[in-house]
Amino acid sequence: MGLFTGLKDSISRATDRLFSEQEPKRIGIYGPPNAGKTTLANRIARDWTGDAIGTESHIPHETRRARRKEDVEIERNGKSVTIDIVDTPGVTTKVDYEEFTDEMEKDDAIRRSREATEGVAEAMHWLREDVDGVIYVLDSAEDPITQVNTMLIGIIESRDLPVLIFANKIDLPESSVKRIEDAFPQHKTVPLSAKEGENMDEVYENIAEYFG
Amino acid sequence: MPEATKADDDRHDGVQIDLISGERMEGLASMEKIRMILDGVHDGNIVILEEGLTPDEESRLIEVTMAEISPDEFNGIEIETYPKSGTRDSSLLGRIMGNDESPKKLTVIGPANQIETLHKDETLISALVSRS
């Protein structure tokens, strides 16, 4: 390689790096099914862009495909960050279509479970390849120490991805944020109710500070 | 599992448990480990790993499991591992050397429709296994 070519490549690499630093960070919203990931993603997207991302539902695996909202600029206390929010299906190690047959016909339940499995597989693949940071959403009314949560947090840690834990559903009487803080003391836990919009200021402060 | 055959299944009508040593897993690539686990689980076996999987392998295990779920045939896995005790205290050197993903943890994996965790803490996993 000649001197000129080498210099050109070096400048090109530096320029690429400069531009890549300006690109939005892809923040994956992960967590177990029904923790309120889509409700939170919609709340953030509506607050900063005016549009929602997807449909919210009490039925597990309503989000069967990851959905992305691009260029969401969040500003708080003089700090700002532009992120692409990636709302992912709830991660699980099992999907049984019979869980949905009370709510829908068998064919629809089978289709839903197939889509859910593909969505979870994609979400796991992207966690290894395609996200710059993670918002991990937990239902604060549920026991956080489950195998899936422990595994997912371990996978995220092993990739050295920045992660914020959001203890959602604090509007429920049985909510316990401390239970989540005690389960994952190595990470910052932010309490909120995505449904009621409680404590969203602190949510945005932490997103701007942590991922900015 | 070449050594642990299912030849006696019909005669005993029981649940086969594959206890896989760390030594046996040591020489296998990640996908070979996952294939070995899922082949056992597809056969209705309970697979117990002496040394568990790395986080990356756990992630791939979930991904491959999802690809193999099929209505009325296979609805996934139940997996239990002792939780890590306390916070991460690995040294910087350990992380630089890639020693941070210690798989030294016993892991139990079985078909989701056959295994149910009754109790788990840092030193005990208690599971109920039923025939499918």
Q: Tell me if A114 and B71 make a contact (CB, 8 A cut-off).
A: yes
Among candidate residues A169, A202, A192, the one with its CA nearest the CA of residue A34: A169
pLDDT confidence of residue B93? 47
Residues from chain B contacting residue A158 (CB–CB below 8 Å):
54-56, 100-101
Q: What is the ipTM of this complex?
A: 0.82
Residues A44, A100 contacting (CB under 8 angstroms) = no
Nearest chain A alpha carbon to B57: A155
Nearest to A158 among B65, B75, B100 (CB): B100
For residue A167, what are the β-bridge partners? A138, A191
Q: Are strands B107-111 and B46-49 parallel, antiparallel or unpaired?
A: antiparallel
Radius of gyration in angstroms for the set of CA atoms belonging to chain A, rounded to a whole number: 19
3-class DSSP state for residue B61?
helix
Share of chain A above pLDDT 70, in %: 84
A169 pLDDT band (50/70/90 cuts)?
very high
Q: Does the predicted model carry a pTM greater than 0.90?
A: no
Q: Tell me if A93 and B83 make a contact (CB, 8 A cut-off).
A: no
Q: A32-88 pLDDT, tens per residue? A: 999 999 999 999 999 999 887 766 666 666 666 778 889 999 999 888 999 999 999
Kind plus residue range of the DSSP H or E element containing B115: strand B115-120
Q: A105-158 pLDDT, tens per residue? A: 999 999 989 998 999 999 999 999 889 999 999 999 999 999 999 999 999 999
- Residue B80 phi/psi, 5-degree rounding, is -135, 135
Among candidate residues A4, A30, A20, the one with its CA nearest the CA of residue A157: A30
User: Does the pLDDT at position B2 exceed 60?
Assistant: no
Distance CA A166, CA A168 (A): 6
Residues recorded for chain A = 212
Residue A53 is which amino acid? I
User: Does the pLDDT at position A188 exceed 70?
Assistant: yes
